[in-house]
Every structure is written in C-alpha cells, then in structure tokens.
C-alpha cells in the first residue's frame, strides 16, 4: 500500500468512527439526560437552565424511590403480565406453526394469511370493540384483560417465525424417532423443540418485550392501581399540574434495567426476531 | 328422476363424503391450528364485528342503553371539520415520522455495515431505544423539552440560538414536531437493523468493481446500495407506516393529543371519543375509518410480502 493510500484509508476510518460516535451520541442523549438528572440533588434538577453535568452527584433519588413510589410492585406486575403473555402465546403458536409446517391441508394458506392480517390490525383501532368484549366477559380489572389482547397481537409474529423455522427441520429426524417408538408428543418436546431453540428464544424475547412495554391495554382495562405495570406506573406519575420529575425519571431508569440486561444477553436473538418479521431471505 | 339429476345427486353425496374423509385424514392438522384460530376469532374477529355493530348505535360506555342511529355517526364524521384536521395531522405525523426513521436508519446501517471494531456493542446500543417502553421514552422527551428545566433549552441557550426557554409541547404550532422527534428516536433502531440485514446481502463484488472504476462513495450509495436495497426499504417503510399510523403510547404520554388537539391523530381521537368521553358508538365509527386505512396498507403489504407466491 502506498503512503497516500494508507493515509486515505486511515482518514476514512477516523471519519467512519467519528460519524458512528456522533450518531451514537444523538441516540444516547435521552438516556444521558434521564440518568444524569436522577443524580442531581432536588434543587439542581429544578434549576433553569439545566446543568449538563450534575455538579454534586447524589444517589438520594434512588434511596427515596422505594419508599415514595410503587416501583417494585409495577416491576412485579410487568413480570406477571409478560410471563403470562409468553406462556399463552407459545401454547397457541407452537401447535399451530408445527401443524402448518408439517401438513398440507385445505385452508392453510388462508389461515396463515389471516394471521398475518391480524398483525396489521393494530390494537388501538380495535380498542373500542375490545373494551366491549372484555367487559362482557367480566375480565375487566384482571391480569387476563391485558394478557389476552397482548397474546392475540403477538401471535402472528410467533406463528410465522416458528412456522418458518419448523420447516427447516428435516422430517427424516422425526421419522426415525417414530420408528424408534417415540410418540408425537415426545417427538415435539424431545427432538423438534430443542432444535428450534434460536427461534423460540427470539419468540419469547419479542413477546416478553411487547407485553412489558405496552401502556394501552393496562390504561384501558386495568383501573386497579395495584395491578399497574411499569409504563402505566410511569404514566400515573404524570400529573395534570405538578409532576414529580425526580421520582418519575428515577422510576424510568429502574424500569429499564431488566430490559438492558435482557438486551445484553439476547441481542442476537432480538435482531433475528426483528429481521425475521420483516425481511425474507 | 332424470339421468342428469341422478348424476348431480351422486356427486353431491360423494363430495360430502370425500370432504369428510379428507377432514378425518387431516384431523390432527386441523386440531392443532384450531385453538389459535378460535382464539384469534374471539379476541380479534369478534371485536371487529362488535366495532362495526357499535358504530351504528348511540352507546355510552357507562350504561347498557343503546339506540340505533344507523349511519348517523359516519355522516357527522365526514361533515365535521375535526375529521379533516385529523387526516391532515395524521398524514404529516406519518410522513415526517417515517421519513425521519428511514433516513436515520439508513445512516446508522451504512456506517455499521463494514468490518468495524465493537460492532456488537454499537448494534446493541443502537437497538436499545426500540426495546424500552414508549411511555418511558415519552416522559424522557417531555423532560428534555421541558420549558424551564429541559436539556434542549439549556443547549439552545448556550448556543445563543434563543434568548429564553421555549415550551415546545405547549405551543400549538410546533408541539407535533416535539412529539415526532421522540417517535423518530423510538422507530430508528428497527429501520437500522432491517437495513443492516439488507446491506449484508448485497454482493461485495459490486462495490469492488465500482471502486476499480473509480466511483465515489456517494455514487456507490446511489447506484448500488439504494437500488439493491429497494425491496427491503419498501417493506420496512410500509411496516413503519402502519406502526406510525397506529402509534398511541408516545403521543398519549407526551401531550394527550393537545394543545388544542394539534398533536392528535386519528387513533388518538378514537381513544378520546370512544373511551375517554365514553361515546362508544362514535369511537367505533372512527375505528372503522381507521380499519379502512389499515386495510389499504395491509393489501399493499401482503402484495409485496407474497410477491412470487412461493412463501407458503
């Protein structure tokens, strides 16, 4: 490589990382604002104009938040709702996806396309009809009032994701197990599902996040504040006249910690899930 | 009985028989999809029908009294000024939001494409805004845009661009922009990841050949990257259009549709009328209008998605 060529490629690298870091800075700025505000003492948060760096950092807000808000309760509720949604969605999606991947039957195409259309039917345009249905079935103010709609709207992704993955598992594997005397249930749980692990992890992560993050269903179907999830809890802190920004931002930071842990470990699966939903190979 | 009738008769019977036999042969396949099918019919199908039915009634949420009013809601909607204001506000919300997400997503993806150090770190970091609750992003952006204590004002003041703090979300002229920024921030990671996946499937030889021909990077982007990414961009912007159209949590948390309804979109109005004001019938009628839009988006999406027809 010539000297000039070397310089040019180095310049290009510097420029590339420069742009990347700048983009990262823009995307991370809201997190920085949130986090740095929670480290400011009360009088500094409410000083104008805002200080860019806390002058006298303190973790007092993190000590106050446990006694002044219901953050632990909200996190626990979020877990109940998310895990419930994951369980219900998988219980429905696995058999359906497996059936479509292994059999050819009249109505399969219609079924799969109808499922895809459900994904298009965003919950908010259905919310008035759903409200009527949830009330009719006496589910109002129960966890199920949130879990059931969340499962319905995560099902399409799960069915399609697992359907695509099941198709890649060779039938020969199942046939040889059948010859060895395995039952259909054993084949599914002992052979097919372990091989489907990447798709299952992606499904579970997607469904978990969906249920964890949604405000709409909880806002509409749960009025009992003891059942609020994290987003609803944060929303409940937005006051009409006065908002306790210090506590609200601290709850927000704590509320996203479980998600950050999830992201650190499952980044690959989340990406796999996001791409599988939209782009064909 | 004529010969012809007898002929038809037997085929009918055998068709039924054949149908039953077919169903029996495939009973397990049908049994396995049945729970999902029934569940979706109950939780999505039935509410759709219920929405249509409700839209023909005057029906307050807090009582059981329903009065049939026919198409009155629809007539009132299409003759009201608020409807056209909502269409305009929804349109600009979707167009500006999707454009912003697409450009930001492309920018990130193009820079993440190469063999760079710390790729996993960058990818994870860029992904995070997508994964946290919209309600939390929304309150953080509310805080950033706070008229007195917000970062945005602090920065603008420091740069000397403004002389005193401005309240973006309280200003009917620019409040929607304050919300769009948050929405773009939330939606960018999805675009970036999808584009990144698309970029990686472009054959590297194309770029090498172009580099030998002395094509500038910008030209490579315009004549190789964009055309090769066309179908990925189409799918991603379509999905993003649908999601932006129905986006609720962000707007609701940041402004609740205000000030003076200037940040309200069609779906925000559905919620306000149907559930907040308890006019289920009118809310349902607005929902049906929302269905129509989604229906059009869905048809386009299905067309693009199943192009080639070899998916199933």
Mean pLDDT of A150-157: 94
CB nearest to B157's CB, from A49, A133, A278: A49
Quick one: which H or E segment has residue B110?
helix B81-112
For residue A281, pLDDT beyond 50 = no
pLDDT in tens, A193-219: 999 998 999 899 999 999 999 999 999
Counting beta carbons within 10 angstroms of the beta carbon of residue A45, is it exposed (0 to 12), middle (13 to 18) or buried (19 or more)? buried
ipTM, 2 dp:
0.90
Quick one: which H or E segment has residue B67?
strand B67-68
pLDDT in tens, A63-90: 999 999 999 999 999 999 999 999 999 9
CB of A146 within 8 A of CB of A217? Answer: yes
**Does B276 contact chain A (CB < 8 Å)?**
no
Mean pLDDT of B90-100: 97
**Does B111 contact chain A (CB < 8 Å)?**
yes
Under the banding of pLDDT at 50, 70 and 90, the label for residue B312 is very low
Q: Output the pLDDT for position A2.
A: 59
Q: Output the pLDDT for position B311.
A: 46
pLDDT in tens, A19-32: 999 999 999 999 99
Residues of A in contact with B15 (CB under 8 A): none
Closest C-alpha to B105, from B205, B195, B214: B195
Residues of B in contact with A234 (CB under 8 A): 133, 135-136, 139, 253
Please give the residue that has the higher pLDDT: either A54 or B2. Answer: A54
Average pLDDT, chain A: 89
Q: For CA atoms B171, B173, B176, B178, give the dihedral sign.
A: negative
- Which residues 208-247 on chain A approach chain B with CB closer than 8 angstroms? 209, 212-216, 219-220, 230-232, 234-235, 237-238, 245
pLDDT in tens, B16-51: 888 888 888 888 889 999 999 999 999 999 999 999
pLDDT in tens, A100-136: 999 898 899 999 988 988 877 788 999 999 998 899 8
Cα distance between the two ends of chain B: 45
Q: Output the pLDDT for position A110.
A: 92
Radius of gyration of chain B, Cα coordinates, nearest whole angstrom: 26
**Does B110 contact chain A (CB < 8 Å)?**
no
B131 and A121 within 8 Å at the Cβ level: the answer is no
Residues of B in contact with A125 (CB under 8 A): 246, 267, 270, 287, 290-291, 294
Residues of B in contact with A117 (CB under 8 A): 298, 302
Residues of B in contact with A279 (CB under 8 A): 194, 197-198, 232, 235-236
Counting residues of chain B whose pLDDT is more than 90, the rounded percentage is 54
Q: Output the pLDDT for position A280.
A: 42
Q: What is the DSSP string of A41-73?
A: -HHHHT-SSPPSS-SS---HHHHHHHHHS-HHH
B270: closest CA of chain A, how far (Å): 7
CB of A40 within 8 A of CB of A196? Answer: no
CB nearest to B143's CB, from A37, A120, A149: A37
Q: Which residues pair with residue B68 across a beta bridge?
A: B57
pLDDT in tens, B265-284: 999 999 999 999 989 999 99
Q: Output the pLDDT for position B73.
A: 93
Under the banding of pLDDT at 50, 70 and 90, the label for residue B10 is low
A215 and B249 within 8 Å at the Cβ level: the answer is yes
Residues of B in contact with A120 (CB under 8 A): 242, 294, 297-298, 301
CB of A14 within 8 A of CB of A233? Answer: no
B154 and A131 within 8 Å at the Cβ level: the answer is no
pLDDT in tens, B160-179: 888 888 889 999 999 999 99
- Which residues 190-209 on chain B approach chain A with CB closer than 8 angstroms? 190, 193-194, 197-198
CB of B284 within 8 A of CB of B274? Answer: yes
**Does A47 contact chain B (CB < 8 Å)?**
yes
A267 and B236 within 8 Å at the Cβ level: the answer is no
Please give the residue that has the higher pLDDT: either B298 or B279. Answer: B279
Mean pLDDT of A4-13: 76
Q: Output the pLDDT for position A5.
A: 65
**Does A3 contact chain B (CB < 8 Å)?**
no
Counted across chains A and B, CB pairs separated by less than 8 A come out at: 290
Counting residues of chain A whose pLDDT is more than 70, the rounded percentage is 96
In this structure, what DSSP letter does residue A137 have? T
């Amino acid at each position: 490589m010539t000297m000039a060529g070397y310089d040019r490629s180095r310049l290009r690298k510097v420029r590339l990382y420069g742009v990347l870091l700048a983009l990262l800075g823009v995307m991370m700025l809201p997190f920085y604002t949130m986090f740095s505000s929670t480290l400011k003492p009360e009088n500094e948060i409410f000083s104008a104009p805002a200080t860019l760096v806390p002058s006298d950092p303190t973790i007092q807000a993190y000590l106050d938040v446990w006694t002044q808000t219901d953050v632990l309760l909200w996190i626990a509720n979020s877990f109940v709702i998310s895990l419930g949604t994951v369980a219900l969605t998988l219980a429905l999606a696995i058999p359906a996806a497996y059936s479509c991947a292994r059999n050819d039957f009249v109505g399969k195409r219609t079924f799969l396309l109808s499922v895809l259309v459900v994904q298009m039917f965003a919950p908010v345009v259905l919310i008035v009809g759903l409200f009527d249905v949830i009330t009719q079935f006496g589910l109002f103010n129960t966890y199920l009032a949130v879990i059931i709609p969340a499962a319905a709207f995560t099902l399409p992704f799960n069915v399609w994701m697992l359907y695509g993955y099941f198709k890649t598992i060779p039938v020969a594997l199942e046939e040889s197990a059948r010859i060895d005397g395995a039952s259909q249930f054993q084949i599914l749980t002992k052979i097919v599902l372990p091989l489907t692990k990447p798709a299952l992890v992606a499904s579970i992560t997607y469904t978990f996040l969906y249920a964890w993050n949604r405000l709409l269903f909880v806002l509409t179907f749960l009025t009992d504040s003891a059942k609020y999830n994290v987003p609803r809890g944060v929303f409940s802190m937005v006051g009409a006249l006065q908002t306790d920004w210090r506590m609200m931002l601290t709850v927000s930071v704590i509320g996203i910690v479980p998600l950050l842990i999830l992201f650190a470990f499952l980044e690959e699966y989340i990406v796999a899930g996001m791409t599988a939903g939209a782009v064909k190979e | 009985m004529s010969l012809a009738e007898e002929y038809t008769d037997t085929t009918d019977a055998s068709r039924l028989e054949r149908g039953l036999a077919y169903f029996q042969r495939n009973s397990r396949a049908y049994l396995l999809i049945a729970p999902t099918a029934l569940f979706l019919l109950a939780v999505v199908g039935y509410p759709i029908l219920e929405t249509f039915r409700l839209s023909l009634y005057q029906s307050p949420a807090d009582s059981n009294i329903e009065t049939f009013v026919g198409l009155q809601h629809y007539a009132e909607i299409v003759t009201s000024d608020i409807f056209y204001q909502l269409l305009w506000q929804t349109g600009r919300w979707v167009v500006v939001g999707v454009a912003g997400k697409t450009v930001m997503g492309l920018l990130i993806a193009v820079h993440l494409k190469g063999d760079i150090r710390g790729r996993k770190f960058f990818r994870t970091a860029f992904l995070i805004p997508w994964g946290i609750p919209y309600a939390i992003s929304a309150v953080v952006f509310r805080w950033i845009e706070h008229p007195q204590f917000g970062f945005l004002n602090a920065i603008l003041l420091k740069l000397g661009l403004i002389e005193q703090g401005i309240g973006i979300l309280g200003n009917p002229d620019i409040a929607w922009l304050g919300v769009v920024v948050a929405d773009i921030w939330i939606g960018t990671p999805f675009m970036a990841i999808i584009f990144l996946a698309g970029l990686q499937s472009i054959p590297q030889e194309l770029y090498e050949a172009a580099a030998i021909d002395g094509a500038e990077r910008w030209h490579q982007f315009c004549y190789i990257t964009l055309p090769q990414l066309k179908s990925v961009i189409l799918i991603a912007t379509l999905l993003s259009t649908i999601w932006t159209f129905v986006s609720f949590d962000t707007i609701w948390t940041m402004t609740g549709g205000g000030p003076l309804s200037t940040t309200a979109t069609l779906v925000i109005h559905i919620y306000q009328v149907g559930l907040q004001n308890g006019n289920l019938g009118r809310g349902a009628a607005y929902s049906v209008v929302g269905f129509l839009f989604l229906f059009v988006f869905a048809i386009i999406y299905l067309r693009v998605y199943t192009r080639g027809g070899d998916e199933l």
